[in-house]
Structure 1
């Protein structure tokens, strides 16, 4: 398995044509750029969201050009403190044009077959799968780029199924 950097994976955002979909399965993430803002939030301190602005600007540019960016967050209830923080950030994602839905883990049938061994992934245009691999400490290790048609078709089916089950962000209450 060959892993690429986050920057190499993120190049797919400049080349996808129509739809980028992200499946998130973790109840907590350890992302370096979020460490400081998350710590501030936990202390009740204000945030200027400068760290978040590049993602929001990119999302706005892409969606204004007619492209779709969607995300399903599968969460354990009651939600973790980290997920509560994400819930508070979600209106900014939405305002930038990203559609986010939430799916309580208990709404997924036992034995549901997630592609990519249950790792998070991005699916670009129903053609390219970028599977996230994490280190034991929860930090990003790398992304595996997959174009195998069988694996991608499985991801497309899962995306469609989960999207139809998930709750739009403004209707979800934890």
Structure 2
């Protein structure tokens, strides 16, 4: 789950600039991720995420919706949940692996990624699974969200 409207990922900066300027971009920073998604999909593995977003979308969130067409094409299921419908969900990012392992993401005040913290308490893992399921239930598929 991604919960922030802006991240500071320096590898994205040039692509974000091009997106905002309406210039074409082949997203060089994303190519290894797209390859990995395609390989995983071919092996029957799934990747899914929910992005909690403020509406109207920030420029960065619009960029994320645009980028997600490529990850979706490679096999990732991305859904969007407007922030006003995310009551009761965490206000931090996390990854959930096979419903059994949680990595909580940490960022500094400037939204630069600091690292992940493995959560191994079974009760917390159950809670993260619940949040995932609730978010996915209320979220809108990328294609439908982008069409709006």
Query: TM-score, length-normalised on structure 2?
Result: 0.94
Classify the secondary structure of the residue corresponding to 2:29. Answer: coil
- 1:18-37 equivalences under 5 Å are 23-37=1-15
Deviation at 1:60, TM superposition (A): 0.8
- 1:14-163 equivalences under 5 Å are 23-109=1-87, 112-114=88-90, 118-163=91-136
Classify the secondary structure of the residue corresponding to 1:141. Answer: strand
Maintained 8 Å contact 2:89/2:135 = no
Higher relative contact order (CA 8 A, sep 6+): 1
- Higher mean alpha-carbon deviation, 132-141 vs 44-53, is at 44-53
Query: RMSD of the alignment, in Å?
Result: 1.2
Whole-angstrom distance in 2 between the partners of 1:150 and 1:79: 34
> Whose helix proportion is higher, 1 or 2?
2
Structure 2: state its 5+ residue gaps: none
Deviation at 1:113, TM superposition (A): 4.6
Instruction: Tell me the equivalent position of 1:9.
Output: none
Matched, 1:169 2:142: yes
Classify the secondary structure of the residue corresponding to 1:28. Answer: coil
Classify the secondary structure of the residue corresponding to 1:66. Answer: coil
Whole-angstrom distance in 2 between the partners of 1:137 and 1:105: 20
Query: TM-score, length-normalised on structure 1?
Result: 0.81
Whole-angstrom distance in 1 between the partners of 2:62 and 2:70: 14
Instruction: Tell me the equivalent position of 1:16.
Output: none
